Amino acid sequence: MSAESPFETHFQEYDAWFDANRNLFCSELLAIRAVLPTLGAASARWAEIGVGSGRFALALGIGVGVEPAEGVAALARARGIRVVKGAAEDLPFDDRSVDAAFLITVTCFLEDMDRAFAEVTRVLVPGGSAIVAFIPSDSELGTSYANTEGDPFFSTATLRSRSTVRAGLERAGLTVRAAASTLRCSSCEPSERPELPVDNWHGGSFVVLRATNGSEGYLI
């Protein structure tokens, strides 16, 4: 990510979205929480890759984040997140040192998704979890973003389909164990209350997959 990244130059605008769209943010949080691994003593070794301004990390109790853009990273640090500068394709973690790795609305900004997923596999402990939340290209909101011109964030994003993300996880040796989706509302306008997730990856414009580095059968 270059110094001219929108997460450097428009980081306050990015962060303000969460306050202006509180119910959408809460809907996304509910979907992520629906697939979380069981909390345990080792949960301190959760890390968010592409932590941004730290909104999700703070809400989910994730203490460590990786972020290449100093603009949003400064906001995450102000929220108490320990931010390490780095990229998803070259994670600054030792092998088998992370219990759960979170990639939340990050896949569309990855330069090399396969390499990033391979790095996740490398740093996860045996039986560790990768939680990947994304806006599918083949969703209502994904289609809307694909047709957006001039948006500082999504005009340069590469949205990926559900099947593309799943296939990438499989190539990295990660097995999907759980899925949830939300934002099924028409045009995904802010609603009067957060939307409850469903336990599948179909239909919604915000999909969350939990995959582990085990070898048992697939959920989907």
Of the listed ranges 51-60, 125-134, 158-167, 183-192, the one predicted with least confidence: 183-192
In a domain, 78, yes or no: yes
Cα distance between residue 68 and residue 77, in whole Å? 13
Question: What pLDDT score does 106 carry?
Answer: 94
Query: What CATH code is carried by the domain that includes residue 170?
Result: 3.40.50.150
Question: What pLDDT score does 20 carry?
Answer: 85
In a domain, 1, yes or no: no
Mean pLDDT of the chain: 87
In a domain, 219, yes or no: no
In a domain, 28, yes or no: yes
- Burial class (CB within 10 angstroms; exposed 0-12, middle 13-18, buried 19+) of 54: buried
In a domain, 216, yes or no: no
- For 99-145, write each residue's pLDDT tens digit: 999 999 999 999 999 999 999 999 999 999 999 999 999 888 887 77
Number of domains forming the structure of the chain: 1
Q: Is 26's pLDDT higher than 60?
A: yes
Question: What pLDDT score does 43 carry?
Answer: 59
In a domain, 204, yes or no: yes
Question: Which structural domain, as residue segments, surrounds residue 31?
Answer: 6-211
Mean pLDDT of the region 155-165: 88
